[in-house]
Amino acid sequence: MEVEHYSDPLSFAREVNLPLLGVCEVAPVPAGAGATGLLQAADPGIGPVVDVLLQTRKSLTLRSLLWAGFPEDPEFFAAGLALGREWSRRGLKVAVVDLDYRHPVVVRPRPHPNEGYVDALEYGCSFQRIAWEIVADALWVVGPGSHPPDEERFVSHPDWDRAMRVFCSRVDVALYVAPFLDRKGFTGRLSKRMDGVLLAASVERIARPALRDAFLELWGSDAPMIGCVGIGAPKKRAPAPAPPLEDFAPPSRPERPALQLPDFRVRESGEVAAEQLVREIDAEVRGGRRTGRARTRARRRVWGAVTVAGLTVLAGIGGTALWRSSVDRARVHAPELLPPGNEPVLPADLGGSATKDAPATAPPAPATPTTPPANEGAAVDLTAPQGGQGQDAAFPYRVHVASFRAERTVRDLVLSLRARGLDAWYEPPSGTGRWYRVFVGRFATYQEAADQAAWLVSRKIVDRAQAFPDLEK
């Protein structure tokens, strides 16, 4: 049964009389991605949407914005993150809150607690404890929480106003990403808590009735609907036409009698060997008693079939165990929470705990959750970022922190910075130069690199830091 779809996002926007703010085309962000993976969520097409929101803030209080959509769109969270990142580049402090507690994307790596917005509501966790600082004091990410909430209690929680006041005191805009439009009524009640709503969906995936029902649900909740944003689905490439059969016609040759070659097919499982054994036994029953050599060959094939079947089962068990182990490693187990007011307040970055007297010295945006030990530095490539971006044209800026002539000194410094969670590496001398230069992070804009350099110096992690290359000179 064919499902009716809209031809394009503009046709849907015209039918429901909503402005189409733009179309975002961005790759999905995998669950549990590090800071580097989150920063890769960017799309120039989201710029017009931010321009409209900046104009809207002049006439409408927009401290909390709901980014509503469907779970059928895997790029939904990445599109919301791209919107928050572009918004932060306009001079605002933005917090992107992942409310998808069924399939969360923002998962903190071990050993940091996987606390999020649910913990702020239920246990009174502070903003610094649940927020993850991605760009220095400009872009923050908040996960759904350490456990799935009760839906009815979640949308009608008495601490919503208190939690929003905490967010308003730390950031200019909190963007709540909620792909819950497949649940009737839930997103509509959730939107009543917000100052504005944006409907984002892909018309290629979402059926026409579902989009209309979603619009009516959000419209009936009395939440100010600012507009809709299209999510560009990846285009399906048409299969290449098969070449004509004439191209494969063999040259004319005199026909020769066909040779009876032995069957050298590889037996990939015990099933093939068992079938061969059945055929041989059937031939022996029909033709008479088999010889000792035939019995030995048959016995070997039986044992071969049993061995292959056993190895297949063991491989399946091993693969299941490996999958469960990887899932368990990606899953973050939070420690037991103390009552509000008694729990220690962690910094917003990934660098461990902080005390009242000693501020946190951890960086805001580590590329990977783990750091190699100092004694294993010789086996680790320290000449490339840990995020694996290399010389990506989308991230041309980095932070220059030091230069030395001795490679050993440079390697020790890089290992020390990586131990703090920083994405540090060094570049060997080029040409006739003799200096090894140490860099931290990769950024898309010069301003982001400059903010990170100022952050490193203010936390006394390094003595000097500057954005590189310095195009201002």
Return the closest-CA partner of residue 39 out of 139, 110, 144, 113: 139
Last residue of a domain, one of 212, 231, 250: 231
**Beta-carbon contacts of residue 207 (< 8 Å; ≥ 6 apart):** 3, 4, 5
Average pLDDT of the segment spanning 233-244: 56
Domain count, the chain: 3
Dihedral angle sign, alpha carbons of residues 324, 326, 327, 328: positive
Q: How far apart are CA 414 and CA 431, in angstroms?
A: 22
Residue 432's pLDDT is what?
A: 75
Last residue of a domain, one of 210, 231, 252: 231
Domain-located, residue 154: yes
Domain-located, residue 257: no
Q: Is 279 in the same domain as 140?
A: no
Q: Quickly tell me which residue has 């009815």 as its tokens.
A: 152
Last residue of a domain, one of 206, 231, 256: 231
Q: Is 182 in the same domain as 60?
A: yes
Between 158-172, 188-202, 291-305, 420-434, the lowest mean confidence (pLDDT) is in 291-305
Q: What Cα–Cα distance (Å) separates residue 463 from each residue in 198, 350, 424? A: 44, 21, 15
Mapping DSSP to helix (H, G, I), strand (E, B) and coil, where does residue 354 land?
coil
Strands 94-98 and 20-24: unpaired
Check pLDDT > 80 for residue 286: no
Domain-located, residue 367: no
Q: How far apart are CA 130 and CA 348, in angstroms?
A: 7
Residue 82's pLDDT is what?
A: 94
Domain-located, residue 293: yes
**Beta-carbon contacts of residue 301 (< 8 Å; ≥ 6 apart):** 273, 276, 277
Look at the chain and count its residues: 473
Domain-located, residue 25: yes
Q: Is 17 in the same domain as 145?
A: yes
Q: How far apart are CA 452 and CA 366, in angstroms?
A: 12
What tokens were used for 36? 């580097």
pLDDT band at 393 (very low <50, low <70, confident <90, very high): confident
| Residue pLDDT, tens place only, 144-165 | 999 999 888 998 999 999 999 9
Return the closest-CA partner of residue 141 out of 169, 103, 115: 115
Check pLDDT > 90 for residue 261: no
Check pLDDT > 50 for residue 434: yes
CATH of the domain at 19: 3.40.50.300
Between 13-22, 191-200, 213-222, 344-353, the lowest mean confidence (pLDDT) is in 344-353
| Residue pLDDT, tens place only, 39-86 | 888 888 899 999 999 999 988 889 999 999 999 999 999 999 999 999
Q: Is 301 in the same domain as 403?
A: no
Q: Is 227 in the same domain as 277?
A: no
Residue 269's pLDDT is what?
A: 47
Return the closest-CA partner of residue 122 out of 338, 349, 345, 411: 338
**Beta-carbon contacts of residue 134 (< 8 Å; ≥ 6 apart):** 35, 38, 39, 140, 141, 364, 365
pLDDT band at 243 (very low <50, low <70, confident <90, very high): low
| Residue pLDDT, tens place only, 300-340 | 766 777 676 777 766 666 655 554 554 444 444 444 444 44
Residue 469 preceded by cis peptide, ω within 30:
yes
H/E segment holding residue 437: strand 436-443
Selection from 7-21, 107-121, 254-268, 363-377 with the highest mean pLDDT:
7-21
Tell me the residue range of the domain where 290 lies.
266-314
How would you class 119 by CB atoms within 10 Å of its CB: exposed for 0-12, middle for 13-18, buried for 19 or more?
buried
Average pLDDT of the segment spanning 278-300: 60
Q: How far apart are CA 402 and CA 414, in angstroms?
A: 10
CATH of the domain at 402: 3.30.70.1070
